[in-house]
């Protein structure tokens, strides 16, 4: 069975073809980062226009790379939310047109389900597991007792982890997306040089808060001259990253004490960060799995995989499903 995945929820136009044996035959991504960089973040209007320009090229390239024809495709999976509505619409309408023209079943996919399942695309997983999604828009712990049952047990109450890194980066002059650059800078700095208070959410031990760190950063920056900032940028990044990740690892410890799990599946853009992965591995005594190369940040292979599993359980969608900017992650199995 050949499955197409299409992902346009944010600023990357992506298409992938996988088969039911989890072989990724093509995973094509056209990044719009350079178009948005000068604005310091994603401009939704620009994102949807760029998706329109790129979508058919990216899909054709996926097809060519896998040496297939459209008529070989058995299932079309597309991100239906959450995300930017104008961006989601481009992918969903393109997928619907393909489905109609080829008479091929279609399945709308929850972006976060794609991230959550991305480590299982390249590795064998066991249940129950704890999913930890750390992306630009989400920071969530999801308890998965068996395939298709999702219970969100903790999440951020304000900024997402990636969003917090990007905002911190902006405040010290690092372009969007700042996460990967902060990781590189941090490797050259001292992570205890600056102290950033550990946030906590009152009476909600499984939830996280990252917005308080912004004020702490402001206080530190006010005391530094431009020269000092330049000299200290490595240690600032290392200290900020450590504070953020420490908050996540201590929350993981609390959650795992109440939700026994066989493993943690780390996913989302920030899961590409080696320091977070190492800190998690050191702080918990069960295996931590992260996505394979190129599967941490937004990609369409994870959408094809999540869509395929849901299609096998639920069947296909009718052509009138809609895109949704916010969307709850629903289970498809019963306990
Ligand atoms: O999952 P993703 O590609 O998009 C969303 O669904 O949000 O995540 C993007 C986020 C950005 O905030 C980016 O700064 C962060 O992931 N990111 C990283 C790294 N690579 C991407 N953060 C820390 N370290 C990295 N190596
Ligand atoms: Zn994402």
For ligand 1, the distance from its centroid to the CA atom of residue 81, given in whole angstroms, is 18
- HSE at residue 101, side-chain half, CA atoms within 13 A, is 9
CA of 270 to the centre of ligand 1 (A): 4
Q: Which residue segments constitute the domains of the chain, with CATH numbers given?
A: 2-116+295-314 (3.30.420.40), 127-289 (3.30.420.40)
Are 144 and 127 in contact by the 8 Å Cβ rule? The answer is yes
In a structure prediction context, what are the per-residue pLDDT tens digits for the chain, which is 335 residues long?
Answer: 999 999 999 999 999 999 999 999 999 999 888 888 778 778 999 999 999 999 999 999 999 999 999 999 999 999 999 999 999 999 999 999 999 999 999 999 999 999 999 999 999 999 999 999 999 999 999 999 999 999 999 999 999 999 999 999 999 999 989 999 999 999 999 999 999 987 778 889 999 999 888 889 999 999 999 999 999 999 999 999 999 999 999 999 999 999 999 999 999 999 999 999 999 999 999 999 999 999 999 999 999 999 999 999 999 999 999 999 999 999 999 87
Q: What is the pLDDT of residue 300?
A: 98
Q: Whose CA is nearest to atom 8 of ligand 1?
A: 269
Place of tokens 């008479």: 103
The pLDDT assigned to 235 comes to 98
With a 6 Å cutoff on the Cβ, whether 177 touches ligand 1 is yes
Q: Is 40 left (phi over 0), alpha (psi -120 to 50) or beta?
A: left
Neighbours of 114 (CB within 10 A): 29
User: Where does residue 312 rank: exposed (0-12), middle (13-18), buried (19+ CB within 10 A)?
Assistant: middle
Residue whose C-alpha is closest to residue 40's, from 136, 174, 138 = 174
From the CA of 166, how far away is ligand 1's center (Å)? 9
Closest to 322 (Cα-Cα) out of 93, 113, 11: 93
Residue from 270, 293, 306, 329 whose mutation best tests the ligand 1 pocket (most atoms within 8 A of CB): 270
Query: What is the 179 CA–ligand 1 centroid distance (Å)?
Result: 6
Note whether 136 and 166 are within 8 A (CB): yes
- From the list 145, 149, 104, the residue with the least C-alpha distance to 127 is 145
121 membership: H or E segment, kind and range: none
Tell me how far apart the alpha carbons of residues 323 and 93 are, in angstroms, rounded to a whole number. 9
Q: Where are the alpha helices (DSSP H) in the chain?
A: 33-37, 44-65, 85-102, 111-117, 161-171, 179-186, 212-222, 226-258, 274-283, 301-314
DSSP state of 317: B
Please tell me the residue having the least CA distance from ligand 1 atom 21.
Answer: 269
Residues, CB-to-ion distance under 5 Å, ligand 2: 135, 298
The model's pTM is 0.96
């Amino acid at each position: 069975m050949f499955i197409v995945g299409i992902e346009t929820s944010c600023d990357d136009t992506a298409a992938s073809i996988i088969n039911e044996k989890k072989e990724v035959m093509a995973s094509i991504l056209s990044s719009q980062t350079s178009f948005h960089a000068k604005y310091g973040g994603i401009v939704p209007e620009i994102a949807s226009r760029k998706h329109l320009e790129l979508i058919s090229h990216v899909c054709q390239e996926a097809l060519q790379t896998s040496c297939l024809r459209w008529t070989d495709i058995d299932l079309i999976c597309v991100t239906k939310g959450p995300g930017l509505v104008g961006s989601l619409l481009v992918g969903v309408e393109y997928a619907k047109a393909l489905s109609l023209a080829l008479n091929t079943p279609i399945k709308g996919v929850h972006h976060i389900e794609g991230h959550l399942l991305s480590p299982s695309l390249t590795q064998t997983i066991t249940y129950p597991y704890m999913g930890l999604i750390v992306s630009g828009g989400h920071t969530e712990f999801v308890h998965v007792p068996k395939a298709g049952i999702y219970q969100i047990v903790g999440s951020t109450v304000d900024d997402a982890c990636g969003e917090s890194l990007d905002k911190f980066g902006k405040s010290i002059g690092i372009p969007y997306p700042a996460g990967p650059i902060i990781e590189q800078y941090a490797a050259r700095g001292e992570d205890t040089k600056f102290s950033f208070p550990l946030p906590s959410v009152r009476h909600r031990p499984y939830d996280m808060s990252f917005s308080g760190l912004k004020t702490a950063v402001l206080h530190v920056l006010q005391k530094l001259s431009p020269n000092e900032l330049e000299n200290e940028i490595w240690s600032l990044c290392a200290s900020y990253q450590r504070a953020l990740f420490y908050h996540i690892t201590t929350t993981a410890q609390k959650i795992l004490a109440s939700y026994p799990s066989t493993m943690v599946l780390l996913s989302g853009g920030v899961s590409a960060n080696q320091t977070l992965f190492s800190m998690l591995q050191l702080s918990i005594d069960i295996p931590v799995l992260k996505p394979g190369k190129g599967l941490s940040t937004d990609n369409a292979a994870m959408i094809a995989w999540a869509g395929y599993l849901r299609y096998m359980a639920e069947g296909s969608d009718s052509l009138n499903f809609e895109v949704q900017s916010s969307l709850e992650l629903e289970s498809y199995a019963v306990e």
